[in-house]
């Protein structure tokens, strides 16, 4: 790795990503300086694919949540700038050029956000609150890291830092079927409830209310109807996911109370 230029490292946490991994890594091959991939227990060809692109493939099965896993991955890195990617994401050419231009002067007090454009069930979703999905995905390694969240982790923006926005989309190729959607959301739902159990109360009524509001927000307020039948389906699925999370939180509280009465 050259010490005469600002370096960029890709940070990835993966599990069973043989379907998407090569396409993701192809989108950064040749212009990033480091790729670190932390695997949490793949039993497919993820490792074999990853090692074609990097020798920094690390097995870390002590799962403590998404935030902690990303922190561990960052500890293995030496690049000036961190670009976290998920295996089902791909860097567009416009975004690549924006990233290279942004780090050229190596600003010390800036994090960068970008837009993520999601492809779900055979269609790019441009409404429904899914686009622009603005997220911070480029930051100086020595200044910050991800938080400790079990799920929906995010980059900590230090005080006196500014967030600038990059041009170009990060293409997100998520689930292709309802089975994939169910499998993908199962861990997120459990982690969400685990993180709030004992800290946040819920009722069956609040679960229904949250689910209903989620549908209204996504389909009407965020104009999901402009995504056609996909927008309607995604709003229903999202409402059900929201309802299930709060219902699970309520049920756990209820079962604890029942146990305490015995």
Q: What is the pLDDT of residues 27-74, one digit of tens each?
A: 999 999 999 999 999 999 999 999 999 999 999 988 999 999 999 999
What pLDDT, on a 0 to 100 scale, did the predictor assign at position 188? Answer: 85
Taking the CA atoms of the chain, what radius of gyration do you get in angstroms? Answer: 20
CATH 3.90.550.10 maps onto the chain at: 8-173
Q: Is the pTM of this model over 0.75?
A: yes
Q: Under CATH, domain 8-173 is a member of which superfamily?
A: Spore Coat Polysaccharide Biosynthesis Protein SpsA; Chain A (3.90.550.10)
Answer yes or no: are the C-beta atoms of 167 and 98 closer than 8 Å: yes
Secondary structure in 3-state letters for 70-117: HHHHHHCCCCCEEEECCCCEEECHHHHHHHHHHHCCCCCCEEEEEEEE
Question: Helix, strand or coil for residue 138?
Answer: strand
Average pLDDT over residues 200-212: 95
What pLDDT, on a 0 to 100 scale, did the predictor assign at position 2? Answer: 43
What pLDDT, on a 0 to 100 scale, did the predictor assign at position 143? Answer: 96
Which tens digits make up the pLDDT trace of 227-255? 999 999 999 999 999 999 999 999 999 99
Rounded mean pLDDT of the chain?
94
Which tens digits make up the pLDDT trace of 146-191? 999 988 899 999 999 999 999 999 999 999 999 999 988 988 898 8
Diameter over CA atoms, the chain: 69
DSSP assignment of 47-77 equals HHHHTTT-S-EEE------HHHHHHHHHHT-
What pLDDT, on a 0 to 100 scale, did the predictor assign at position 200? Answer: 87
């Amino acid at each position: 790795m050259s010490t005469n230029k600002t370096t960029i490292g890709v940070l990835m946490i993966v599990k069973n990503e043989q379907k998407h991994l090569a396409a993701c890594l192809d989108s950064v091959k040749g212009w990033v300086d480091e790729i670190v991939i932390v695997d949490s227990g793949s039993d497919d060809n993820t490792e074999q694919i990853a090692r074609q692109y990097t020798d920094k493939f690390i097995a870390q099965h002590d799962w403590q949540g998404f935030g902690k896993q990303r922190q561990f991955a960052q500890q293995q890195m030496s690049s000036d700038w961190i670009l976290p990617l998920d295996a089902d994401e791909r860097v567009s050419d416009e975004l690549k050029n924006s990233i290279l231009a942004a780090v050229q002067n190596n600003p010390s007090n800036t994090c960068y956000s970008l837009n993520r454009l999601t492809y779900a069930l055979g269609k790019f979703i441009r409404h429904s609150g899914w686009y622009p999905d603005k997220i911070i995905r480029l930051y100086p390694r020595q200044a910050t890291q991800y938080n400790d969240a079990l799920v929906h982790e995010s980059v900590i923006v230090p005080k006196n830092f500014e967030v600038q926005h990059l041009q170009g989309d990060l293409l997100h190729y998520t689930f292709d079927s309802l089975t994939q959607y169910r499998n993908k959301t199962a861990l997120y739902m459990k982690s969400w409830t685990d993180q709030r159990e004992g800290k946040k109360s819920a009722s069956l009524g609040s679960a229904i209310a949250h689910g209903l509001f989620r549908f209204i927000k996504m389909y009407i307020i965020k104009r999901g109807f402009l995504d056609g039948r996909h927008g309607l389906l995604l709003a229903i699925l999202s409402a059900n996911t929201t309802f299930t999370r709060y219902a699970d939180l309520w049920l756990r509280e209820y079962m604890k109370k029942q146990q305490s009465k015995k």
